[in-house]
C-alpha cells in the first residue's frame, strides 16, 4: 500500500511538472500566451540577406547544393571576401507594405523574417556591429518599415535569429573561413553578451514581437545551460514572447520535435516535412520552402504547385500544427514572381475557406481516404471541416467512425453555404455531395454536430 501511495504521489508530481512549463508558468497562462499563435495556423517565413546577391552562384558557377543562404559555408568563402558583398547590397525595390499586404491576402497572420542568418549580417541598424544594413549603400533599417506595415495590416511580426554566427570573432566554433579564424581564443561569453544586446534591440525598437525563432543551435558551442539562460533573459524582457525550441538543445534533427527531457521552447520545428501524426498537447510548426532553397536562388525553379501548398496547409492544420511557408526575396528587394502567384492563389482559396483553418484543432477521426478534417470546438457544438481533395465518384462523402444523433447535425459547403443532405449509420456518416467538385484542390464541407457524438476506430 505504502509503495502504491508513493507511486501515486510520484505520478501526481510528474503530471504537475508537465502542466507547468519550466519557468513557473501555469497551464492557463501558457494557453493565454499561445492563443494568437494557435489561432493563426499560417505564417510567412522570409529568408533575406546579402546571400541574395550571389543567389547560389559564386564566381559564375552554381555551387550551392541546397539552401543559397549557406553559400559562404558551402564554398568556404573567407569572411573578408564575403564581406565585400556589403558594398553591393542595395534593395531599392523593397516595399515592406507590398510584402505585408501579400501575406495578408494569402491569409497569413504572422511574418517571421531573418533578422540575422548564419552569416551574421543584420537586416537592421544595430548599435552592436557594422556588419549590418546601415553599412550598405542602402543604409536604411529594413525591419522598421516592415514593423510599421505589420501594425497597419494587423500581422504579428516575428524574428528569426541565428545563434551560429560565421562572422563574429568570438563565436565558439572556429573554421578557417569564418570571422573567428584569427582569434586564438574565441569567447562564447563575449559572443552571448553581443547576441543578448542585439536581441534586446530587436525587442525594444520594433513594437510588439510575436515570436523569436532561433536556429543554428546545433554546434557544440551552444549548450543547454546557455539556452536556459537566454530563454530566461528574453522572457524577462517580454513575458508574452513565444520562443521556438531551437533556443535550447532538445531538437531531434529535421524532425524538429524535442527528445525526452526538459528543454526550453514553446513549439517544435519540423523542417521541410510534415509529421505523420500530430502531437497531442505539444505545439509545433512545420517550416517549408516553396522551391528547394530558403534564400533566393537563381537556378532553383523547382516550385511546388498551389495544389500541393494548399493541401500541405490543410494537412498540417488537420494534425494541429502551424504552417510557416517561406519566400526568398531578391537582392533588389522583390519576392520572386512564382512565390507571389502561389501566395495569391492560396489567398483565393483562403478567402472563402479560411474559417476551416484558423483556430482549428487536430482531427479526432480515423484516416480519411478522400482528404483531411479540421475541427473547431464551440460552446454547444463541434464543427468538422471536411476537406475533400478527391471528389467521390459515387457523389457521397463517407465520414468513417463518426456516430451522431440522427437529428443533431447540419452540413453545407463552406464556400457557398449550399446545404447538403446527410445520413447517419452505426459507424459512419454519409453526405450527399452531387457530381461536381466545387473546388478542384479542396472543397470544404462544414458539418456542425450539436450535442454529443462518438468516434469509432482509432486515429
Cα angle, residue 86 at apex, residues 68 and 169 outer, rounded to 5°: 85
Pick out residues in 14-53 that bind ligand GLC (CB under 6 A). Answer: 47
User: Which DSSP category does 153 fall into?
Assistant: H
Crossing angle between the packed helical segments 337-353 and 306-318, to the nearest 10 degrees: 50
CA 179 from chain centre, in angstroms, equals 30
Alpha carbons 69 and 215: distance in angstroms, whole number? 13
Alpha carbons 125 and 112: distance in angstroms, whole number? 18
For residue 48, CA distances in Å to 52, 209, 444 come to 7, 18, 35
**In a 3-state reduction of DSSP, which class is residue 101?**
helix
Which secondary-structure segment (H or E) carries 203? helix 188-204
Which one, 325 or 445, has the nearer CB to ligand GLC? 325
Which one, 331 or 433, has the nearer CB to ligand GLC? 331
Pick out residues in 70-109 that bind ligand GLC (CB under 6 A). Answer: 70
Nearest distance from C-beta of residue 379 to ligand GLC, angstroms: 38
Check binding of 69 to ligand GLC (CB under 6 A): yes
**In a 3-state reduction of DSSP, which class is residue 247?**
helix
Task: Tell me, residue by residue from 237 to 276, as one string, x for binding to ligand GLC by CB under 6 A and - for no binding.
Answer: ----------------------------------x-----
Asked if residue 71 lies in contact with residue 56, where contact means CB atoms within 8 angstroms, the answer is yes
Nearest distance from C-beta of residue 294 to ligand GLC, angstroms: 5
Which one, 242 or 411, has the nearer CB to ligand GLC? 242
The residues, any chain, with a CB within 8 Å of residue 18's CB and separated by 6 or more, are none
Closest to 443 measured CA to CA, from 422, 420, 425: 420
Check binding of 222 to ligand GLC (CB under 6 A): no
Alpha carbons 429 and 427: distance in angstroms, whole number? 7
Which one, 73 or 126, has the nearer CB to ligand GLC? 73
**Edge-to-edge strands of the sheet including 443-450?**
371-377, 381-388, 443-450, 409-413, 419-420
Which one, 115 or 353, has the nearer CB to ligand GLC? 115
Which one, 170 or 271, has the nearer CB to ligand GLC? 271
Which one, 69 or 300, has the nearer CB to ligand GLC? 69
Nearest distance from C-beta of residue 325 to ligand GLC, angstroms: 12
Grid coordinates of 213: 525563432
For the chain, the C-alpha Rg in angstroms (whole number) is 24
Cα angle, residue 87 at apex, residues 136 and 177 outer, rounded to 5°: 110
Task: Tell me, residue by residue from 406 to 445, as one string, x for binding to ligand GLC by CB under 6 A and - for no binding.
Answer: ----------------------------------------
Which one, 265 or 401, has the nearer CB to ligand GLC? 265
Which one, 217 or 439, has the nearer CB to ligand GLC? 217
Grid coordinates of 409: 447535425
Which one, 83 or 287, has the nearer CB to ligand GLC? 287
Chain position carrying cell 478527391:
390
Binding residues with ligand GLC: total (CB under 6 A): 8
Check binding of 294 to ligand GLC (CB under 6 A): yes
Nearest distance from C-beta of residue 224 to ligand GLC, angstroms: 19
Of residues 54, 56, 67, 278, which one binds ligand GLC by CB under 6 A? Answer: 67
Could you give phi then psi for residue 49, rounded to 5 degrees?
-175, -170
Stretch that binds ligand GLC, among 66-74, 88-96, 358-366, 450-458 (CB under 6 A): 66-74
**In a 3-state reduction of DSSP, which class is residue 11?**
helix
Task: Tell me, residue by residue from 340 to 379, as one string, x for binding to ligand GLC by CB under 6 A and - for no binding.
Answer: ----------------------------------------
Of residues 209, 287, 325, 444, which one binds ligand GLC by CB under 6 A? Answer: 287
Nearest distance from C-beta of residue 110 to ligand GLC, angstroms: 15
Q: What residue spans of 86-186 are helical by DSSP H?
A: 96-106, 143-153
Q: Which spans of this chain sit near ligand GLC (rule: CB under 6 A)?
A: 47, 67, 69-70, 215, 271, 287, 294
Amino acid at each position: 500500500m505504502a509503495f502504491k501511495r508513493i507511486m501515486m504521489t510520484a505520478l501526481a508530481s510528474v503530471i504537475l511538472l508537465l502542466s507547468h512549463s519550466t519557468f513557473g508558468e501555469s497551464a492557463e497562462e501558457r494557453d493565454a500566451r499561445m492563443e494568437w499563435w494557435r489561432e493563426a495556423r499560417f505564417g510567412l517565413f522570409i529568408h533575406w540577406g546579402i546571400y541574395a546577391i550571389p543567389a547560389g552562384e559564386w564566381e559564375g558557377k552554381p555551387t550551392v547544393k541546397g539552401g543559397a543562404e549557406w553559400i559562404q559555408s558551402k564554398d568556404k568563402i573567407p569572411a573578408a571576401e564575403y564581406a565585400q558583398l556589403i558594398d553591393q547590397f542595395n534593395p531599392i525595390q523593397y516595399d515592406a507594405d507590398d510584402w505585408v499586404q501579400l501575406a495578408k491576402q494569402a491569409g497569413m497572420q504572422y511574418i517571421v523574417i531573418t533578422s540575422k542568418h548564419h552569416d551574421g549580417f543584420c537586416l537592421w541598424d544595430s548599435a552592436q556591429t557594422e556588419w549590418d544594413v546601415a553599412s550598405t549603400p542602402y543604409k536604411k533599417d529594413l525591419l522598421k518599415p516592415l514593423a510599421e506595415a505589420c501594425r497597419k495590416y494587423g500581422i504579428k511580426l516575428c524574428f528569426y535569429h541565428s545563434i551560429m554566427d560565421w562572422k563574429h570573432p568570438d563565436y565558439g566554433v572556429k573554421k578557417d573561413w569564418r570571422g573567428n579564424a584569427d582569434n586564438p581564443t574565441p569567447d562564447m561569453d563575449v559572443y552571448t553578451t553581443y547576441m543578448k544586446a542585439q536581441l534586446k534591440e530587436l525587442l525594444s525598437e520594433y513594437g510588439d514581437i510575436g515570436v523569436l525563432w532561433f536556429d543554428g543551435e546545433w554546434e557544440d558551442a551552444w549548450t543547454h545551460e546557455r539556452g536556459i539562460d537566454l530563454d530566461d533573459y528574453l522572457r524577462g524582457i517580454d513575458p508574452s514572447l513565444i520562443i521556438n525550441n531551437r533556443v535550447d538543445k532538445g531538437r531531434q534533427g529535421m524532425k524538429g520535435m524535442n527528445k525526452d527531457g526538459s528543454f526550453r521552447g514553446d513549439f517544435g520545428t519540423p523542417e521541410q516535412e510534415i509529421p505523420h501524426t500530430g502531437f497531442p498537447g505539444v505545439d509545433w510548426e512545420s517550416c517549408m520552402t516553396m522551391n528547394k532553397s530558403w534564400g533566393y536562388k537563381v537556378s532553383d525553379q523547382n516550385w511546388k504547385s498551389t495544389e500541393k501548398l494548399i493541401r500541405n496547409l490543410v494537412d498540417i492544420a488537420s494534425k494541429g500544427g502551424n504552417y510557416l511557408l517561406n519566400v526568398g526575396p531578391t537582392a533588389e528587394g522583390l519576392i520572386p514572381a512564382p512565390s507571389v502567384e502561389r501566395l495569391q492563389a492560396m489567398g483565393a482559396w483562403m478567402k472563402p475557406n479560411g474559417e476551416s483553418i484558423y483556430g482549428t484543432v487536430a482531427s479526432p477521426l480515423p484516416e480519411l481516404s478522400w482528404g483531411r478534417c479540421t475541427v473547431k470546438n464551440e460552446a454547444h457544438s463541434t464543427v468538422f471541416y471536411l476537406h475533400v481533395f478527391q471528389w467521390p465518384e459515387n457523389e457521397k462523402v463517407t465520414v468513417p467512425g463518426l456516430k451522431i444523433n440522427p437529428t443533431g447535425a447540419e452540413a453545407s459547403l463552406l464556400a457557398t453555404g449550399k446545404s447538403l443532405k446527410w445520413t447517419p449509420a452505426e459507424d459512419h456518416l454519409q453526405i450527399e455531395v452531387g457530381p461536381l467538385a466545387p473546388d478542384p484542390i479542396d472543397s470544404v464541407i462544414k458539418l456542425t454536430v450539436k450535442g454529443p457524438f462518438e468516434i469509432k476506430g482509432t486515429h
